[in-house]
Structure 1
Amino acid sequence: MRKNALIIDEIKGIISNAQINAIRAVDHQRVIMYWNIGKRIFEEEQHGRERAVYGERLIGFLAEQLKPQFGEGFAIRNLNRIRQFYRKFPIVSTAWTQLSWSHFRFLLTIPNDEKIDFYLQESVKNNWTARQLDRQIGSQLYERLLLSTNKESVLSVARNEKQPTEAKDIIKDPMILEFLGLKPEAAYYEKDLENALITHLQEFMLELGNGFSFVARQKRIHLDGDDFFIDLVFYNRLLQCFVIVELKTHKITHQDIGQLQMYVNYYDRIERIKHETPTIGILLCLEKNDTVVKFTLPENSNIIASKYQLYLPTAQQLSQEIQNEVQKQKEMRKE
């Protein structure tokens, strides 16, 4: 009976993998088909004397002819999207052909070509699903990374033209944790936040950024008769260092920063081996005080305070948050 159960599980796995591969193959062909249709529409438009008007007439005519036989994929709205697809991606690339049509539908909502390139490269590099891509666009990942480093660096890392060398290259502020399901107005403890992060570890690591792997939870360290417990420990293979995350559900204090600095020092002196880079500490807090951070830590410290939000804000709300953060940073540089 046990052998029979084993062979059934193996065959089910083979069938499941074949079905997944078949779906991917079909979707790949759909992407190629839409690109070729977009190319043909674009070429035909170039022959029209009044291109804009001719283009709209052509799209309407094609929808009339194709939709009854081939369905909603050839309605006016999608044909316009197909034409835009070719115009945004006029050169066939082995990178973008790995993505599904759903990926491109989300990419085509982005007005900025540099942002499209960033999300395209990140999708391919990290094997994002279309849903994950949509979430990253909605949380304005690109803009949040620009708060800590410059545009050229963000794009270079995305294209694999350079590897990140500092924490600021990958750590985001704010971090958006809407997937935890915790209500902003509800009372909860740090243990509740930690439990929710562990339950949604895959989503949290996606939010943390590239190259993270989970190491430990409530890591116990023993110092001369006293026990301390580090909330979360990760390792980043790109930076080749440990990353310690301490959770605070209040506005941070200098004591919180000092505690995290002790943990970072411990990992640097006890756990880190010769080829690894210095440990990074992330103080993930509900509210931060940048001035307290600035005067508590030495310059070029490897500790970063990052504010978290328990909801996915609108583009307008997050843009305002980013503008406020930029203004804060400018004021701090003047001090």
Structure 2
Amino acid sequence: MTLVDARIQDHYPTRVEPAQGRGWIERHEPTVWPGVAKGPASAAELTRHARDGFHIQRDLLTTSEVSAALNELRAMVEDPVIRADERTITEPASDEVRSVFDAHLFSDRIARLVKEPRVLDRARQILGSDVYVHQSRVNFMPGFRGNGFYWHSDFETWHAEDGMPGMAAVSLSIGLTDNLPYNGGLMLMPGAHRTFVPCLGRTPDDNYRSSLKAQKVGVPQEDDIAELARRHGIGQFTGPSGSALWFDCNSMHGSGNNITPYPRSNIFVVFNSVDNALVEPFSARERRPDFVAARDFTPLKT
């Protein structure tokens, strides 16, 4: 049972029972939308984004900006009030902080960053419209003990559990530490964003409480992942601190554990088109909290 308005057509049914089948669905929407002709992204970057579902922007933050952001993030995770907040997620097997959600509300620095033209105008250019922050967080992957995330499409979860109607959202991951090939960097399948892979199993109530630590519902079957990898291969986001990855909401991505001594931290922001405002969940009985899926659709302004 879901709460979705019957008038809203579900183009991407998921969380299905095995007997229903789980045939792949080709996406209905573009990856780079028309509507905003000018912006900081070059034609070559937009072409790569449309083809692969992602592109890398080098030197988004300067060395001094990275240093200042890291200092602010360290103070954030050491604040006992923030650590006790529901928006702070810890590692399943330890008390180390994994993520702090609503980062743009906790941090004035991040709040300013998401409204700067170098960031906001690129998001608007990709989505072809005004945008708002669907979700923001800072992520920490400690050395030796950092747990990865299994292969998944963010859109599958945002559609099923948050009521995001279509694929008109883009994510930004800004590396505050070096993203190395061996410290749990994000892996992506270039081109797989053009295919929606339904997942099996019903959504448990309050699923977010466990899924933010380790996602078990809303992940593809191994044979689906294997076939996508055969068709598209696997790439990885690597680069020095200050580099940024822009990736489509339906990109198939995941990360391995970090058993190296080198921690990995990043700022993560999801921009959603104001024309793609959330409705009721398509495959869940209740909404997730606003810090996971914002329902303030006010357009961001520089």
Q: TM-score normalized by structure 1?
A: 0.26
Normalising by structure 2, we get a TM-score of: 0.28
Which structure has the larger Rg? 1
Which has the larger strand fraction?
A: 2
More helix by share: 1
